[in-house]
Homo-oligomer: A and B are copies of this chain.
Amino acid sequence: MNGAESLVRTLVRSGIDTSFTNPGTSEMHFVAALDRIGGMRCVLGLFEGVVTGMADGYARMMDRPAATLLHLGPGFGNGIANLHNARKAHSGIVNIVGDHATYHVRHNAPLTADIEGLARPVSHWIRTSPSARDVARDGARAVQAARTGAGRIATLILPADTAWNEAGSDDPAPVPVPRRTGAAADAIRTAAGALASGENTLIHMTGRALREDALRLAGQIRSKTGCRLSCMTANARWQRGAGRAYVERIQYPVDVALRQLHDVRHIILVGTDAPVAFFAYPDRPSVLVPEGCRVHRLADINHDHLAVLQSLVDELDAHDAPELENRDPPDLATGALTTEAIARALGHHMPENAILVDESVTSGRGFMPFTRNAAPHDWLALTGGSIGYGLPCATGAALACPDRKVICTEGDGSAMYTIQALWTQAREGCDVVTILFNNRSYAILKGELANVGAGNPGRTALDMLDLDRPDLDWCQLAGSMGVPATRATTAEEFNGQMARAVAEPGPRLIEVVL
């Protein structure tokens, strides 16, 4: 058994059964090993940002890591932006990165690069295997690292000779993962004290706390104490809709967020930090906590949020049934195809247990109220702020959950970063409908230009924010990669196309002309 075979075997034994790949020469033994060992599903992406974004989407839905297979430093480089997003989502990922043979690196061949240096800013765990005999053990440790806490980015660099040399018969067992723990008793008591104070208190959450079971507990606490439940704009996975406890989203625009938070006296943090602005703006604060408000760190992202919230429920004796959202989807709109018309169709047509992957940036800001009483669904958002996560994340989520409809709300500017994901959707028959908002601009930046006080833009500046000249033809673009597409210019057209897209499986794209 060579090193590559021993690694595939260990990964499979450690519970990794899916690999998102964009391999090159230095990964050929790994690719060949996939057929010999078995048990690993492989999905090809035509660009590494698609590969890492798919791994992120997969991890968010499966609560366990997939592997990626990437080609040396530059291949890893192409995956960095979506690894950044995955890191901020606390998604577990095991990156396998091929390198030159150990004895070849010093010759500075064209593809030689500092892979560990590139990996460091986005990885929690990094190791370069020194020999074929170490590869399996290193692989088991990489999986352990990726499964630790809420989920981590582990990067294992595999020089080509460690893949093709003899690995020996050593067959290391999977490395156990440390259990996630509840919060300390005094943190529970402090939080309970704030909640019982009668003052305006927020339980501010992310991570595992935003799943149905944990939200139910949080809802019980709200029923008992009158607190508010909140989360930031972007969360890895938030279970919303009918039957779930309502959570207020702190908005992206700083002035709106400041108004939402202005009278809060206590913020209890579960899995997240105190609310901060996405960007700094002149004459606006970075930290959105109002003066005099006390911040209580109840649990970080790696705690067992279900246990933490259960302890808090017990401490407060908050055992009455919580208030949960009704099922009351909005009516459809007619006439002009506004963002409200789209939001209504989304809330109206969204099927049971849909996965909504949102990268609509400006166009999607008004979607929340219209989906609040829709069928129960999972809402995935852009946790790291690096656009180009949507299409790959939707693809990975669809591969993780083939029995669920994935709806990807996507801006035109964002879509272009990782547009190659559509090809993988077509190849794998992913059940994804992409709603593509074609406003022919980086619309968010037009607002930001004003927000940062940069003044009235001139022609040169506007040319950097507009995506016209030429207009992108989204139906042609999707069609070229095997994804059927339609264009909607009225609410009626969109409603009809959305109804069909929900009813029929397989990938499709609806271009919304705004």
Contacts and interface: CB of A to CB of B under 8 A. Distances in A.
A77 interface: yes
Nearest to A477: B480
Given A113-B121, A476-B476, A454 B31 contact: yes
Contact of A453 (B40, B164, B419): B164
Given A35-B461, A78-B81, A473-B479, A25 B110 contact: no
Contacts of A139: none
A279 B477 contact: no
Contacts of A120: 114, 117
Copies in the complex: 2
- Classify chain A: how many residues form its interface, as a range: 35 or more
Contacts of A62: none
Given A121-B117, A454-B32, A46 B480 contact: no
Contacts of A458: 32, 34-36
Contacts of A273: 107-108
Contact of A470 (B109, B382, B427): B427
A445 interface: yes
A419 B449 CA distance: 28
Given A47-B416, A477-B477, A452 B25 contact: yes
A46 B455 contact: no
Nearest to A160: B280
A282 interface: yes
A494 interface: no
Interface in A226-276: 234, 273, 276
A347 interface: no
A44 interface: yes
Nearest to A287: B107
B118 A455 contact: no
